[in-house]
Copies of this chain bind each other. A is one copy, B any other.
């Protein structure tokens, strides 16, 4: 009775075509992030459990995969390790641990899987990749503008044109909640309700607020009003200016919140000097789920995806939990799986990405020295050509069909005749044409063939 072969619940196997798509997107993301001076960081999949517990809220604690102690402790059922839940908390730990070895303004990218024991759903998996950029060490709004620009360049390089970077600020939200008479200890609950504005609408939010015991008649109206900020404006820049002016007016009597409005205005102005200018939209209803944000928050929306492609914000307090001294930080996380879902549905992958596993296949047949074929393969590979070898002697027709089925455009034959003439028969499996090529000229012919059919190397 054979064993079960399915991957575990919510997990996926990535076959070659899947990996090529994933690697293509990751390569684009990495290239853009490097252009912004972000440097690579990797952290272990397993963290001490104390490092993760309590950082993601009550709901997060439940979704963390916990690892049993080993050896003599195993029977007691205790846990000591947990699987990485996001890339931000490990970054905060790393910055605290390696402070002396890192530059004052540490800018890192990190592209690694995280694990959450969420209920699996369309586009939601228990193992998924986050692609993060974070800039540590500065409170300057230049950081937010650059992070928005980097994310914009990534999405544009992948072929996205229609996305919106929704932009808000936690300090602005605090000011609005204060103004609406929501007591501070209800702010978190109110933000969770308001975060659903785009899903359930103003009436739904009002009911959700009441359900949570938040009785502020002004609040629902305030936010449905702010949701329409800048609507009807001719262009995005005018809309953003109108939105900022409206926030200025509403919050002018609250010094803290008013300062956050000015920072928001500055971020928008700086972003407009970059590629992000066409995509940034001030949206005072954006709330974001995580509790550690302290300033700007951002989220990327596209029309045909209910969730977001990614999000981020400023978190000036998180590193302090590890270091004992606050260090400002701001970052953005792109969700690889969400990006792949949209790109697949829209057919956004470049044609060359589905290319065959090899440029040519060397055939083997009974009675001929296999060593000759292997030598030919070795010579071609040394020239950088990707060569498959049919692993065992078989009828040539069968080998041609195998190569053609796999999309390999070219078969190479070294029989007794060819060997005597120091030649190779090159058969084009697309056209069926074949011809003799001097042994030394095969590599050049295959390379010019490959140049005619370019595709991204992944």
The 5 closest A-B pairs by CB, nearest first: A77-B77, A37-B388, A11-B44, A2-B324, A273-B371
Interchain nearest-CB distance for A393 vs B (Å): 8
1/0 contact string of A29-48 vs chain B (CB within 8 Å): 00000111111111111111
> Using a CB–CB distance below 8 Å, which chain A residues touch chain B?
1-8, 11-16, 18-20, 22-23, 34-48, 50-51, 62-63, 65-68, 70-71, 74, 76-77, 79-81, 83, 93-94, 96-98, 101-105, 107-108, 113, 115, 117, 126-127, 135, 137-140, 142-143, 145-146, 149, 153, 269-270, 272-275, 320-324, 357-358, 361, 364, 370-372, 374-375, 377-378, 381-382, 384-392, 402, 405-406
B357–A107 CB distance below 8 A:
yes
CB neighbours (8 Å) of A324 from chain B are 1-2
Interchain nearest-CB distance for A131 vs B (Å): 14
Which residue on chain B has the smallest CB distance to residue A328?
B391
Give how many copies assemble into the complex: 2
Additional A-B contacts beyond A68-B77, A107-B388, A145-B374 (7; CB < 8 A): A1-B324, A4-B48, A13-B94, A45-B45, A45-B115, A67-B83, A135-B391
Interchain nearest-CB distance for A126 vs B (Å): 8
Known: A143-B391, A274-B374. A153 touches B66 (CB 8 A): no
Which residue on chain B has the smallest CB distance to residue A49?
B8
B70–A42 CB distance below 8 A:
no
Complex CA–CA separation, A4 to B51 (angstroms)? 7
Q: Which of B68, B127, B321, B361 is in CB contact (< 8 Å) with A44?
A: B127
Complex CA–CA separation, A2 to B3 (angstroms)? 47
CB neighbours (8 Å) of A269 from chain B are 371
CB neighbours (8 Å) of A272 from chain B are 371
Complex CA–CA separation, A1 to B321 (angstroms)? 8
